[in-house]
Amino acid sequence: MILVFCELKEGQIRKPSAEALSEGRRLADAAGLQLGAIFAGASCAGSADAAKYGADVILCAEGASLASYSSDGFAQVLADTVQAKGATVLLAAATAVGKDVAPRAAARLGAGYASDVTGLAMVGGKLQAVRPVYAGKAFATTSFASAVQVATTRPNVFPAAEKAGAGVAEAVAAPAGGFKSVVKEILAKASGKVDLSEANIIVSGGRGMKDGANFGLLESLADAIGGVVGASRAAVDAGWGLPHSMQVGQTGKVVSPTLYIACGISGAIQHIAGMSGSKFIVAINKDPEAPIFKLADYGIVGDLFEVVPELTKSAQGMGIGSN
């Protein structure tokens, strides 16, 4: 069996989990294996939707002890389920929770682990992963030495494809509790905007923005085209009050949106490493020699303080963000 750990948010399967599940279905078909989806929490309401993405079996560990996320508690559920079902592959999305629990579950199973993968295949009955290293400056093909193989899938890379599965529901016993660490509270709850790592469109600003207050221009453009705002390390480190969570690059978030619009970003190696996986790249910069133009599908040599408001205005006129 290929087992996929799925996260729910407000009763819906999170998009990165649906992507992992779809990729799991593809691998299970290739290897002639069953696909299981595993959920854990106080309630598994919404888990039945896993059948839409091809789950043959939907496993649910439901209990008060799992109401709050616990690294060791959830790792125990995943490792126990892998063993109980004789699964050989465990997948999760490379989300904050996925990246926290998957390596711990792997170690518990004595299994190898490949994180944040962008490609998966079954070769001779075993998982093989392709993953970016050096923040995307190179790609490593990783093979596993262990009987069980664990990987997390990078959001926005694998398509979430609907394919009906049997979706037979099965309960899994929740652990009693007494975990070593537990999440007590969520601070600064999501603003409703998606995180950079999951965003489809990113509008990013660099040193050329001149001041943090000018990021309002990028917010307006992002709102007009349905995107979120990021920043280069130069901008985050400039003391403009931009949080590190906005930073795109090797020392920030590594992103792979459909569209990345770089405004006033020269294109330092460490920034390019974090965004070169974007499908389409637009560069807006005064300096025609800026290295970012080498990467850009569309380049605009010009003053971002003129071009960005024009873009916002035109996009609003075209009604782009409304779909």
Partner 1 sequence: MKILVAIKQVPDTESRIKVAADGCSLDPADVKWIISPYDEYALEEAIRIKEGKGAEVVALTVGADAARDVLKNALALGADSAVLLKGDGQGDPYAVAQMIAAYAKDKGFDLFLCGNKGMGGDNAAMGPMLAEVLGIAQANVVVKLELGDGTFRAEREIEGGSEVVEGALPAVVTAQKGLNEPRYASLKGIMAAKKKTIEEIDAAPATAGSCVSTLALPPERAAGRRLEGEAPAQAAALLQALKDEAKVF
Select the span of 36-44, 83-91, 129-137, 211-219 touching partner 1 (CB under 8 A): 129-137
Closest by CA to 57, choosing from 174, 173, 151, 171, is 171
Dig out the tokens for 299 from the structure: 């380049």
Helix (H) or strand (E) holding 259: strand 259-263
Of the two residues 168 and 269, which places its CB atom closer to partner 1 in the complex? 269
Q: Torsion angle of alpha carbons 243, 246, 248, 251, nearest 10°?
A: 30
Q: Does 201 bind partner 1 (CB under 8 A)?
A: yes
- Contact string (CB under 8 A) for partner 1, positions 242-271, x = contact: -xxx-x--xxx-x---xx--------xxx-
Q: Does 72 bind partner 1 (CB under 8 A)?
A: yes
Bridge-based pairing of strands 89-93 and 112-117 is: unpaired
6, 37, 111, 246: residue in contact with partner 1 (rule CB under 8 A): 111
Helix (H, G, I), strand (E, B) or coil at 174: coil
Of the two residues 32 and 317, which places its CB atom closer to partner 1 in the complex? 317
12, 42, 134, 170: residue in contact with partner 1 (rule CB under 8 A): 134
Of the two residues 10 and 190, which places its CB atom closer to partner 1 in the complex? 190
Closest by CA to 77, choosing from 111, 102, 96, is 102
Select the span of 26-34, 39-47, 64-72, 168-176 touching partner 1 (CB under 8 A): 64-72
Q: Does 239 bind partner 1 (CB under 8 A)?
A: no
Of the two residues 35 and 272, which places its CB atom closer to partner 1 in the complex? 272
Q: Does 133 bind partner 1 (CB under 8 A)?
A: yes
- How far apart, in whole angstroms, are the C-alpha atoms of residue 32 and residue 30? 6
Bridge-based pairing of strands 201-205 and 119-123 is: unpaired
- Contact string (CB under 8 A) for partner 1, positions 6-45, x = contact: ----------------------------------------
Q: Torsion angle of alpha carbons 22, 28, 33, 37, nearest 10°?
A: -20
Q: Give me Rg for the CA atoms of the chain.
A: 21
81, 276, 285, 290: residue in contact with partner 1 (rule CB under 8 A): 276
The b/e string for 102-136 (b: 16+ C-beta within 10 A; e otherwise) is bbbbbebbebbbbbbbbbbebeeebbbbebbeebb
Q: Does 175 bind partner 1 (CB under 8 A)?
A: no
Q: Does 287 bind partner 1 (CB under 8 A)?
A: no
Closest by CA to 160, choosing from 297, 273, 44, 12, is 12
- Contact string (CB under 8 A) for partner 1, positions 294-313, x = contact: xxxxxxxxxx--xx--xx-x
Q: Does 83 bind partner 1 (CB under 8 A)?
A: no
Of the two residues 177 and 313, which places its CB atom closer to partner 1 in the complex? 313
